[in-house]
Amino acid sequence: MEKNTLLAIVLSIAVLIGFSLVQGLIFPKKEPPPQTSGNVTETPQPAVPQMPVTPDAVDTLSDEKPLYTPAEEEVSEERVIITTDLMEVVLTNAGGDAVSWKLLNHKDKDGLVEMILPGSKTPHSFTVALGGLNAQPVSSYFHINRISPYVVEFYRDFYIPSQAGSTGDGQHFRLSKKYEFKRNDYMFELTVSLDGGHSVPGFNFGGSAYTLSFGPQIGPRFEKLDNRYDYRQYVTYTNGKRKMEKIGSGATIISTSPKWAAISGKYFACVAVPLLPQYELNFSERSEPGIPSASRLNIVRPPLNTPRIDDTYRFYLGPKSQDVLNAYNNGNNEFGVRDMHLTEVANTGGFLSPLEKALKWLLVVFNKLVGNYGIAIILVTLAVKILFFPLTRKSSEATLRMQSVAPKIKEIQEKYKSNPQKMNAEMAELYKKEGYNPLSGCLPMLLQLPIFFAMYNLFNNHFDLRGAMFIPGWIPDLSMPEYIWNFPEGARLPILGWTALRLLPFIYVGSQLLYGKVTQTPDQKSNTQMKMMLYVMPIMFFFILYNVPSGLLIYWIFSNLLTMVQQVAINKYLAPKRAAQAAANAAAETAAKVTPPQKKKKK
């Protein structure tokens, strides 16, 4: 088998594998949404149904007796605003819930990033439902106790009448929720208290004490979750191991009491750290009006055999920045917590995760030196090329070695062309005798494929690249595709679906074609398969990579340019050897020629 044919086959396989992986990343298969009838799904979902908030609302405990509040305790709705150095939080006394959570240091296209994504109605997060997953959240108006600028408590007394319609006796208890914020911390503390005094010996509402829920969705607002512009993942951390949880159609309960659980987006996350001896978790994706896809986190407290309980939870609601999350590992935070390993929320999984972490570390180091992530990407590309230079040089030397054994290969092919099995055996013996590996020329390119896909994940998920500018006016965000002209709103290019004219993909195609010209060997120029690889593959990848993050194309373009410089230097170094080898091959062909025997003349 010719070296060129083998090279073409190997590269074709590599490109097809790469294409399928990129296609899976950019165009993931969508799961069909559950079929619904009205507001009720056919399959019961593990979600807490919303209840309208009215001053005279009566809270219920699933199918249990209704909860009443004394008429003299009725209050109107009030809102409390907590402003720290990092966020502005709006709380309502309707259930003591959070209705807005804006991050002051992070912008969205509509303003500040809103972490509680609203739908068609006012969202309520950190709700408490007395009972299990199907219980309605408490929605009565609570009393407010503003303890300090960063601490507020909501409380309300309830009683369950001993007989239906009775209002004079029954079991009395108090439900309270206390929020404690820090001035310079994305983490806050929420304490849920139940106090039955001498009236209620324990709390068991339909098999559970209460359910604390976050929802309906973390921000910022998105058009769709396509795994490129944004996504949602569900993560738990137990016994030093991270686990990606799958959301089923039913009420899937996680009973392992993990150290923490998170709803993770592309750049932001909600992480729950229950400081409880026992609890159960549930994630839910039940949609609601105005939200394309909901993401809820439910923490179910088992029945309590005590008249009073104070349950403390810590929640992180903020960016997936390595520096910020690492503060909860080293104790450099206002709560003084350590060894939480929240950085696992920002790390992607898969077998390329270690490579991605190494590239991320290198990118951060270069950015600290130059202060520009675009230049840092170029420096990372240079470092990768320097690392792979020995292999690239060996690949070029292998190509030269191939030229020396080419006449022998041709001889074997001619001799055994009618016996392919014998021909392959003789070729293998020749490679072994000459010490030549036909795959050595492909090795550098094959090894760079994992780096490419690790780079894709890095540029698509690394928080510090969000909004990182390279060239003002052209590449303002390395985590997003650049453009030189945005089509009018709602306009798309037919078939392709493009919404903007981009320049980097065209530069990429030019660099890839030039790269192929420079790195092409003389014996490859006449090979049809190699010509197809040279011209067709860059054009195909042009369409595949048209909407990828601009940082990835910058990496690939400069990788091509640096490889061309490398190849020119290597060609100059190997030029004398190539000339000597060509002369030797010519002499061998001349010596191998046999003059045909002349026929004897008849007398």
Q: Which of 349, 166, 393, 167 is nearest to 246 (CA)?
A: 349
Burial class of residue 537 in the structure, from the number of CB atoms within 10 Å of its CB (0-12 exposed, 13-18 middle, 19+ buried): middle
Please compute the mean of the pLDDT values over residues 416-431 and round it to a whole number.
82
- Between 24-33, 84-93, 162-171, the lowest mean confidence (pLDDT) is in 24-33
Burial class of residue 563 in the structure, from the number of CB atoms within 10 Å of its CB (0-12 exposed, 13-18 middle, 19+ buried): buried
d(CA 408, CA 403): 10
Instruction: Examine residue 327 and state whether it is found in any structural domain, yes or no.
Output: yes
Domain shared by 155 and 242, yes or no: yes
Q: Write out the H or E segment, with its range, that includes residue 565.
A: helix 550-592
Give pLDDT, residue 12.
46
d(CA 143, CA 596): 112
Domain shared by 367 and 243, yes or no: no
With b meaning 16 or more CB within 10 Å and e meaning fewer, what string describes 444-456?
Answer: bbeebeebebbbb
Q: How many other C-beta atoms are found inside a 10 Å radius of the C-beta of residue 236?
A: 20
Domain shared by 213 and 291, yes or no: yes
Domain shared by 566 and 493, yes or no: yes
Q: Which structural domain range is residue 500 located in?
A: 356-391+441-577
Give pLDDT, residue 310.
96
Number of structural domains in the chain: 2
Give pLDDT, residue 378.
94
| pLDDT tens-digit series, residues 372-412 | 999 999 999 999 888 888 877 777 666 666 666 777 777 88
Q: Strand pairing of 296-301 and 210-214?
A: antiparallel
Instruction: Examine residue 176 and state whether it is found in any structural domain, yes or no.
Output: yes
Domain shared by 386 and 310, yes or no: no
Instruction: Examine residue 106 and state whether it is found in any structural domain, yes or no.
Output: yes
Domain shared by 138 and 286, yes or no: yes
Instruction: Examine residue 89 and state whether it is found in any structural domain, yes or no.
Output: yes
Give pLDDT, residue 374.
92
Give pLDDT, residue 188.
97
Residue 55 confidence class, pLDDT cut points 50, 70, 90:
very low
With b meaning 16 or more CB within 10 Å and e meaning fewer, what string describes 246-261?
Answer: ebeeebeebeeebbbb
| pLDDT tens-digit series, residues 232-289 | 889 999 998 999 888 876 567 888 889 999 999 988 999 999 999 899 999 998 777 8
Identify the domain boundary among 316, 347, 378.
347
CATH number, domain of 291, equals: 2.70.98.90
| pLDDT tens-digit series, residues 129-188 | 999 998 999 999 999 999 999 999 999 998 877 655 545 456 789 999 999 999 999 999
| pLDDT tens-digit series, residues 196-217 | 988 888 899 989 999 999 989 9
Domain shared by 257 and 297, yes or no: yes
Q: Which of 454, 464, 546 is nearest to 509 (CA)?
A: 546
Domain shared by 249 and 360, yes or no: no
Helices 443-461 + 3-26 axis angle, to 10: 10
Instruction: Examine residue 285 and state whether it is found in any structural domain, yes or no.
Output: yes
Q: Write out the H or E segment, with its range, that includes residue 358.
A: helix 353-370
Tell how far CA 424 is from the center of its chain.
46
d(CA 296, CA 123): 12
Instruction: Examine residue 404 and state whether it is found in any structural domain, yes or no.
Output: no
Catalogue the E-assigned strands of 460-517: 485-486, 500-501
Identify the domain boundary among 286, 317, 347.
347
Domain shared by 116 and 146, yes or no: yes
Calculate what percentage of the chain has a pLDDT beyond 90. Answer: 34
CB 138 within 8 A of CB 48: no
Instruction: Examine residue 17 and state whether it is found in any structural domain, yes or no.
Output: no
Residue type, 137: P
Domain shared by 168 and 123, yes or no: yes
Q: Biggest alpha carbon distance in the chain?
A: 145
d(CA 483, CA 466): 16
Instruction: Examine residue 1 and state whether it is found in any structural domain, yes or no.
Output: no
Domain shared by 132 and 42, yes or no: yes
Domain shared by 72 and 179, yes or no: yes
